[in-house]
Structure 1
């Protein structure tokens, strides 16, 4: 069960790396426009904000990867819990303020990973 939980944590980290790429590199390109339902004009006007948001997603991914590599299991659990909690809060707020899709793409995977982490504990 612990291995499955850590694989889900890794999946959440990889999702956030993907979000970083979408927001920092692909924001004004066709896949970014389609993903975020943006117009080229709006994407161009908000590109700096999106890049900043992407950077934060990268920090969340880095924290989870750091926790997966951490050698002390109890401390690693606490680090994973912190970063997954941050992701859950961001996903819930994004669902409330932007689109309900964000809950399912961002918050729900983190909720499942966090639940499995604590069950496997």
Structure 2
């Protein structure tokens, strides 16, 4: 179970790296800001600093999961578990917050939150065994 959980967590990290790229590096592309529900270039320019900042939150969550996985599978299993758990819960809670913004964000919230949620359950069961 820990291996499947690790694969799902790695997938969650890749998803969050994708969000980082879109929000912090590719935001000026109309195809990107439209995905986030922004209607015009003027609006995209206005929220660009917020998107840039938000992208780095995603980068840091992905980084935490990657470092946590490295620690979990090498020398500091309990430290890695703690880091994975914290970052994974943050990912899941961010998806829950996204769900509260409207129905059009449900698929994005599932993409963002389902892999870490399932992974955390599997990892907790594996850790308890």
If the length of structure 2 is used for normalisation, what is the TM-score?
Answer: 0.85
Q: SS state of the match for residue 27, structure 2? A: coil
Are 1:63 and 1:83, in contact at CA under 8 Å, matched by a contact in 2?
Answer: yes
Q: Deviations over 1:19-76 (max 9, x none)?
A: 0001011222033133213222211111111000001111101100110111211221
If the length of structure 1 is used for normalisation, what is the TM-score?
Answer: 0.90
CA RMSD of aligned residues (A): 1.5
Are 1:17 and 1:57, in contact at CA under 8 Å, matched by a contact in 2?
Answer: yes
Q: SS state of the match for residue 97, structure 1? A: coil
Unaligned runs of 5+ in 2: none
What's 2:45 paired with?
44
What's 2:106 paired with?
100
* Aligned counterparts, 1:11-50, within 5 A: 11-38=11-38, 39-50=40-51
Whole-angstrom distance in 1 between the partners of 2:3 and 2:116: 15
Runs of 4+ in 1 over 4 A off after TM superposition: none
Q: SS state of the match for residue 28, structure 1? A: coil
